[in-house]
Amino acid sequence: MRGIRDPRLLPIAEKVMEGKRLSFEDGLVLYETRDLPTLMRLANLVRERKHGHKTYFVHSIRVSQTNICYVGCTFCAFQRRFGEEGAWDFEVDEVVAWVKERYQPGLTEIHMTAGHHPKRPFSYYLDLVRALKENFPGVQVKAWTAAEIHHFSKIARLPYREVLEALKEAGLDAMPGGGAEIFAERVRRRIARAKVSAEGWLAVHRTAHELGIPTNATMLYGHIETLEERLDHMDRLRRLQDETGGFMSFIPLAFQPDGNLLARELGKKEFTTGLDDLKNLAVARLYLDNFPHIKGYWATLTPELAQVSLDWGVTDIDGTLIEERIVHMAGSPTPQGLTKRELARIILMAGRLPVERDALYREVRVWDRVEA
């Protein structure tokens, strides 16, 4: 590869060209380099090697059955206590009614995450999955992070395996990747002290994969973590993926600073820049060689930056969302949803091929053109 300005990237480029795995030290060089054009080209090479010009999105709705939560993560603007202004807590039939009001033809995925409710029994969650599958036949339910599965395990007094087996039997198709934050204990003590541990998060996903439940993985970055801690996070994910092969995509999530304690404690309003976000995506694409997809989540990146990210290793920009709440309550300035046509146009205008998928990355439709 010609035009490499940072000599430290020469041996890394050779590894990438030959399809060899990068070391932890290589990953740090990628984070530290100022040779961004080379970083972009390397990430794009891997992206196109895996998927060509295909770029995926899903027709999905985001559901949060409650924002009542006892965990108290300092980065969160979503959580509420009982009786607090802005709190909601839906019964099963209310969730079904909420989805029916917003249902759109061709909906493929119900993506559900919420607060850690201290009083709901585990049976409530099983009933909720069953009700959604019954009322929306053919729609896949991708629900509840590893942190929530850990919570269910505590309230049901059951091991992770039995909790996940019961959810799968009720109709759970896949799991989202939230709750990972940053695995480093130093960071978790500061931002998510009462949440599942890093070891617990990984154990939940290992168990899900063993049961045939595919999952995603996230990383919340741009707050107090170091570059080494970001890479350590990815390294642990890469090792688990070597073991199970059950992750579908990796989603870096930029910290949203509005309305949460952590931002007030740090005394800053600006945390990541567009270049930070693009570099993070590129490093992820190069380091996580065993992950099928790196997702540029447009709800945190903005649709415009998500479009640019398609040259930085990204092969998925998420989906229609339909009234996303969690990152918007933390101040994300993006729309709460986009249409399939809008997503396809974003991808086409970047010179890529839009592919509508389902929750399991099975292709539904190739959008080779969008009518005006």
Binding site as annotated, residues = 69, 73, 75-76, 181
Output the CA torsion sign for 30, 239, 147, 315: positive
* β-sheet bridge partners, residue 217: 250
The DSSP call for residue 22 is: P
Instruction: Mark the binding-site residues for [4Fe-4S] cluster, compressed into ranges.
Output: 69, 73, 76
Residue with tokens 């910290």: 255
| Euclidean distance between CA atoms 318 and 300, whole angstroms | 11
Q: For residue 372, give both structure tokens.
A: 């005006």
| Euclidean distance between CA atoms 167 and 212, whole angstroms | 12
User: In sequence order, what DSSP letters do the residues of 153-166 get, joined into one string?
Assistant: HHHHT--HHHHHHH
3-state secondary structure of 366: strand
Judge whether 336 and 321 are in contact, CB under 8 Å.
yes
Judge whether 361 and 56 are in contact, CB under 8 Å.
yes
Beta strands 215-221 and 109-112, pairing class: unpaired
Beta strands 363-366 and 353-357, pairing class: antiparallel
Instruction: Mark the binding-site residues for S-adenosyl-L-methionine, compressed into ranges.
Output: 75, 181
